[in-house]
Homo-oligomer: A and B are copies of this chain.
Amino acid sequence: MAEELKVFRTWSSPYALRIIWALKLKGIEEYETIFEDITNKSPLLLQYNPVHKKVPVLVHDGKPMSESLVILEYIDETWKHNPLLPQDPYERATARFWAKFGDEKLLKSVFNFLITQGKEQEEAIPQVIENLKYIEEQLKGNKFFGGETIGYTDIAFGWTANLLSVFEEVTGIKLLDEEKFPLLSAWMRNFSDVPVIKENWPPRDKLVIKFQATREKYLAAAVAGGGPK
């Protein structure tokens, strides 16, 4: 009997993209994709992820899961071929540490850079740079975070490979100096060249428009709230 496998995503969510990448890296092509409109979420999404009400949700044989990093571990434990996480417990801890860092520190700092201007943005930039330096350091001696092939940490950091430059375009400010970040810059190219990655990026022009609107919304709210805090 064929397995039931469904992915709830949006066209742009970098978290949902992780699940698509992971399934494809496992060679799993037989799944149903449900594209959600976040301004009008489906009853099924709300039923499957009542806590966060967000994509991605993976449903496997009736069992719903959310939180992209949690789903990645589930995928890796359920379909054991082409492992995403390394086998050694310390390397696994390192991979999990950096994935968590990416979501809690780096992503936050980069988003803060996107939605601010003036002095506030000037203060946001060094935080992004500091966070990027940690990643540069992690890539020493490796093509990918997982070694010679992409894995869990690459998938977790994958959003940087397109969104950093989208945010640069939206703000008109260059963040990533290739001379200062040679390893990260090379990683972004190598990562984006992996067929599974290359074939599944959301359209760049649509991302630029989306994040322009995000930026404008936050800037307008900051002005309405009495100027940037």
Q: Is A101 close to B, CB under 8 A? A: yes
Knowing A65-B90, A89-B78, A90-B63 are in contact, say whether A105-B51 is a contact too (CB < 8 A): yes
Number of interface residues of A (CB under 8 A): 23
Q: Which residue of B lies closest to A96 (CB)?
A: B70
Please indicate the chain B residues that have their CB under 8 angstroms from the CB of A51 in the complex. 101, 105, 134
Q: Which one, B71, B92, B105, B134, contacts A74 given CB within 8 A?
A: B92
Knowing A51-B134, A100-B67, A134-B51 are in contact, say whether A93-B105 is a contact too (CB < 8 A): no
Knowing A51-B101, A101-B51, A134-B51 are in contact, say whether A77-B96 is a contact too (CB < 8 A): no
A78 to B105, CA, bound (A): 27
Q: Which one, B66, B73, B134, contacts A92 given CB within 8 A?
A: B73
Please indicate the chain B residues that have their CB under 8 angstroms from the CB of A70 in the complex. 93, 96-97, 100
Q: Which residue of B lies closest to A95 (CB)?
A: B70
A101 to B101, CA, bound (A): 16
Determine how close the nearest CB of chain B comes to the CB of A227; give it in whole angstroms: 14
Determine how close the nearest CB of chain B comes to the CB of A102; give it in whole angstroms: 11
Please indicate the chain B residues that have their CB under 8 angstroms from the CB of A100 in the complex. 67, 70
The interface centre, meaning the residue of A66, A71, A74, A97 with most chain B CB atoms within 10 A of its CB, is A97
Please indicate the chain B residues that have their CB under 8 angstroms from the CB of A93 in the complex. 65, 70-71, 73-74
Which chain A residues (42-101) contact chain B, with CB distance < 8 Å? 51, 60, 63, 65-67, 70-71, 73-74, 77-78, 89-90, 92-94, 96-97, 100-101
Copies in the complex: 2
Determine how close the nearest CB of chain B comes to the CB of A51; give it in whole angstroms: 6
A66 to B60, CA, bound (A): 32
Q: 18 more A-B contacts (CB under 8 A) besides A65-B94, A65-B97, A67-B100?
A: A51-B101, A51-B105, A51-B134, A60-B90, A63-B90, A65-B93, A66-B97, A67-B97, A70-B93, A70-B97, A70-B100, A71-B93, A73-B92, A73-B93, A73-B96, A74-B89, A77-B92, A78-B89
